[in-house]
Amino acid sequence: MSSLPKIAVFDLDGTLAETAGDLIGTLNVLLGREGLPDLPLAEARELIGAGAKALIRRGFEAAGRELSREKHESLFADFLAHYGAHLCDRSHLYPGVVAALDRLEADGFRLAVCTNKVEAHAVDLLDRLGIGSRFAAICGRATFPYSKPDPRHITLTIAQAGGDPARAVMVGDSRADIDAAKAAGIPVVAVTFGYTDTPVDQLGPDRVIAHFSELPGAVAELVPSQA
């Protein structure tokens, strides 16, 4: 039996928390500064999932504007500044998150977050949402030289959290989460309520859940009690 604990690794945006309102709100501030119209939240949700730089690029492409490298970097800095001041204006945990974390911890799981969000923003947001202290590691886009869908983002998060990679599970909402977990050889549970341009059940996760009340059971089916 491994001396390391089982571990559940979570994506953040669209998995643990509904953050689209603040992310797209910040994107729309940047679009407005450039004389472009706002993107409707319902249509722009699927642009989220690969980090702020990708969100900016996708958002401006959706508005019909291509960005030079220099302009993209400038907008990225502006995005971080504005978003950092509006992290939790409208963001909130999905129903059932706290109870699911309680159950997983009671079942012997260590918890971690692996997100393409900037690490400082991820830590701040999770603290504001009241669950930051639950995680042994909160690893963001620049925590390591790699980010999802690179599998090393997940495996290095597991190592930093002190979890057992042979008894790990990833919980996410997007292609990046699913592809990274598959490449790492880690089972993955996908939630249906997050941010994706393709229904998650078409992306080949090991389990799909529509509410966090389903998570402990799904995880128990995927992660052995002993290595």
Q: pLDDT exceeding 90 applies to what percent of the chain?
A: 87
Backbone angles phi, psi at 158, to 5 degrees: -60, -45
Q: Does domain 20-84 have CATH number 3.30.9.10?
A: no
Q: Reply yes or no on whether 124 is catalytic.
A: no
Which pLDDT tens digit goes with each residue over 118-132? 999 999 999 999 999
Angle formed at CA 158 by CA 183 and CA 199, multiple of 5 degrees = 45
User: In angstroms, rounded to a whole number, what is the distance separating the alpha carbons of residues 52 and 47?
Assistant: 10
pLDDT of residue 226: 60
Number of neighbouring beta carbons within 10 Å of residue 72: 14
User: In angstroms, rounded to a whole number, what is the distance separating the alpha carbons of residues 220 and 38?
Assistant: 43
User: In angstroms, rounded to a whole number, what is the distance separating the alpha carbons of residues 189 and 81?
Assistant: 33
pLDDT of residue 210: 98
Concatenate the DSSP letters of all residues of 37-90 into one string.
Answer: PPPPHHHHGGG-SS-HHHHHHHHHHHTT----HHHHHHHHHHHHHHHHTSTTSS
Average pLDDT estimate for 100-127:
96
- pLDDT-derived band at 1, boundaries 50, 70, 90: low
Which pLDDT tens digit goes with each residue over 68-86? 999 999 999 999 999 999 9
Q: Does domain 6-18+91-222 have CATH number 3.40.50.1000?
A: yes
Which pLDDT tens digit goes with each residue over 15-43? 999 999 999 999 999 999 999 999 999 88
Sign of the C-alpha dihedral computed for residues 174, 152, 142 and 76 taken in this order: negative
Average pLDDT across the chain, whole number: 94
User: Any idea where the domains of the chain sit in the sequence?
Assistant: 6-18+91-222, 20-84
User: In angstroms, rounded to a whole number, what is the distance separating the alpha carbons of residues 178 and 203?
Assistant: 7
- pLDDT-derived band at 52, boundaries 50, 70, 90: confident
Reported pTM:
0.93
pLDDT of residue 227: 46
Catalytic choice (11, 22, 173, 177): 11
